[in-house]
Structure 1
Amino acid sequence: MPGACAALARRGASAVAVVTPSTHEAAVALHRSAGFTVVREKRDRARAGRA
């Protein structure tokens, strides 16, 4: 992931957004370990078991 962020910065990006379901704990942990922070959380509109 650091390589991808560095490549984006070389192309002029000043920010990167990642959208990950909060229920995907492994992905959230990976993103946080790479230095990303939670800016906003959005609740699912479907009830559990009805998706």
Structure 2
Amino acid sequence: MAGCPQIAAEAIRAKRVGVFGRRVDDDFTLGDGDRLELYRPLTADPKEARRRRAARPG
């Protein structure tokens, strides 16, 4: 998390963290090999972003 400390702190404060696609509580203990995920709101509408990419030539 050294590369994105602000995002990590925000996600942890808002309790938007998970392991392997499932949200976990504050008291969850990470195991060896667990993948910690930080969730945050989307910055763009996925459908609109796809439409823009599809409309680009090339």
Q: Give the TM-score normalised by structure 1.
A: 0.30
Task: Please identify which structure carries the higher strand content.
Answer: 2
Q: Give the TM-score normalised by structure 2.
A: 0.28
